[in-house]
Amino acid sequence: MKHRITHLFLTLLASASCSLTARADSIPHEVINNMPAFYRQMKQQLTYPLAWGRSTEKDFARWRVQARNKLMECMQNIQPAPKTYDLEVTDREQREGYEARKIRFNLSEWSRVPAYLLVPEGKGPFPAIVLLHDHGARFSIGKEKMVRPFHVAPEVIKDAEQWVAQCYDGRYVGDYLARHGYVVLAVDALFWGERGRKEGISYDGQQALASNFLQMGASWGAFINVDDMRSAEFLASLPFVDKERVASLGFSMGAYRSWMLAAMTDVVRASAAVCWMNTTEYLMTLTNNQNKGGSAYAMLIPGLRRYLDYPHVAAIACPKPALFFNGTQDKLFPTEGVEDAYRHLHTVWKSQGVSDRLVTKLWDEKHFFNREMQQETLEFFDRWLKPSKKRLDSSAFDIQ
């Protein structure tokens, strides 16, 4: 009798449990993997009415003005340009074919920043490149990812060497460019390296920082982009730099920053972006890294997707020379989305009769900037920025 009662009790308990489970399963969940369950419907609302080819404006020069103005409007409460740069050289190191300098300058009215400046030997003015570091959730270093640091703590050297091996095939890209005759400027983005968090490194701290920017009518992502624009303006102002031959280059988040910079300002005459181009259709899914949030805030401009998708913004740079590399094994950027974005970019450059100025390529590579890619990027810049090579009519890029 006792065993029958126990068995009956267990049967009833199991039945109740199944009933509760079934009831829970029947409740619709409106958030899945941190995405709204109706994300597909939200994406369908994004028609990108300001994109070239969709906009009612059919004159390309006027479209560039309108699209750039909308981009800057979405950036909202941006930091003002500095009244003076007040450049200070704080340290130097002679290297093979160039000099590495540690400098400080006023990046805006609000920020005075340290940076690395590499200057080739010889008589200028030289072509120059704003070199933009990646995100990588590695906040301890920024500019040191791109330029070999000197006269720093051993742990900084170790950190930089490890990162360069992991992402840049064991080569400091800034030093590589300087050896080939380019002035190179590398500045920490806000939250990285010497512009980092007083209380120490914190992955979640970037979300809090981004939230605080939004609370004050601004955005962290826009702040980074405008800092990059101020960096380009500073670089072009240097007496040994040819202001008609200033370019931008970056990997990963730095790639996003590079094509954004070329879209924002015609101080930049050519750009190269390695491992960051796609479309919202393929990035905003249940499995893509971008939907985790956090790091995405550094590359987010509130409201911009209502008007322009990523390749539409990048197309504002046309007719300037632009290079885009991505990897077929890159898990962050689905190949279908890369190809989708590339198609739009080629349509725009072709529409303006400058197809030869656009380079797009998919490599059999992961999220990585290997030495062969670096070589082809250098050749791209040499083609367009070296005096002995093909030169551009720079006035064709100016937006009045």
Residues 73 and 23 in one domain: no
pLDDT in tens, 214-243: 999 999 999 999 999 999 999 999 999 999
Helix H or strand E encompassing 363: strand 358-363
Instruction: Using alpha carbons only, give the angle 180, 181, 184 rounded to the nearest 5 degrees.
Output: 100
Residue 313 lies in a domain: yes
Residues 57 and 27 in one domain: no
Q: How many residues does the chain have?
A: 400
The least confident of 33-37, 136-140, 255-259 is 33-37
Helical H segments across 243-389, by residue range: 253-264, 280-283, 310-314, 335-351, 371-385
Q: What is the mean pLDDT of residues 150-169?
A: 98
pLDDT in tens, 320-369: 999 999 999 999 999 999 999 999 999 999 999 999 999 999 999 999 99
Residue 394 lies in a domain: no
Residue 400 lies in a domain: no
Host domain of residue 206: 41-388
Residues 143 and 272 in one domain: yes
Residues 215 and 242 in one domain: yes
Confidence of residue 10 (pLDDT cuts 50, 70, 90): very low
Residues 15 and 164 in one domain: no
**Domains of the chain: total:** 2
Residues 77 and 176 in one domain: yes
CA distance 104 to 313: 31
Asked if the model's pLDDT at residue 114 lies above 60, the reply is yes
At 287 the pLDDT is 86
Residues 143 and 205 in one domain: yes
Confidence of residue 294 (pLDDT cuts 50, 70, 90): confident
Confidence of residue 289 (pLDDT cuts 50, 70, 90): confident
Confidence of residue 13 (pLDDT cuts 50, 70, 90): very low
The CATH number linked to 247 is 3.40.50.1820
Confidence of residue 11 (pLDDT cuts 50, 70, 90): low
Residue 164 lies in a domain: yes
pTM above 0.85, yes or no: yes
CA distance 248 to 233: 12
User: Edge to edge, what strands does the sheet with 112-120 contain?
Assistant: 88-95, 98-106, 112-120, 183-187, 126-132, 241-251, 270-274, 322-327, 358-363
Residues 119 and 7 in one domain: no
Residues 196 and 151 in one domain: yes
Confidence of residue 17 (pLDDT cuts 50, 70, 90): very low
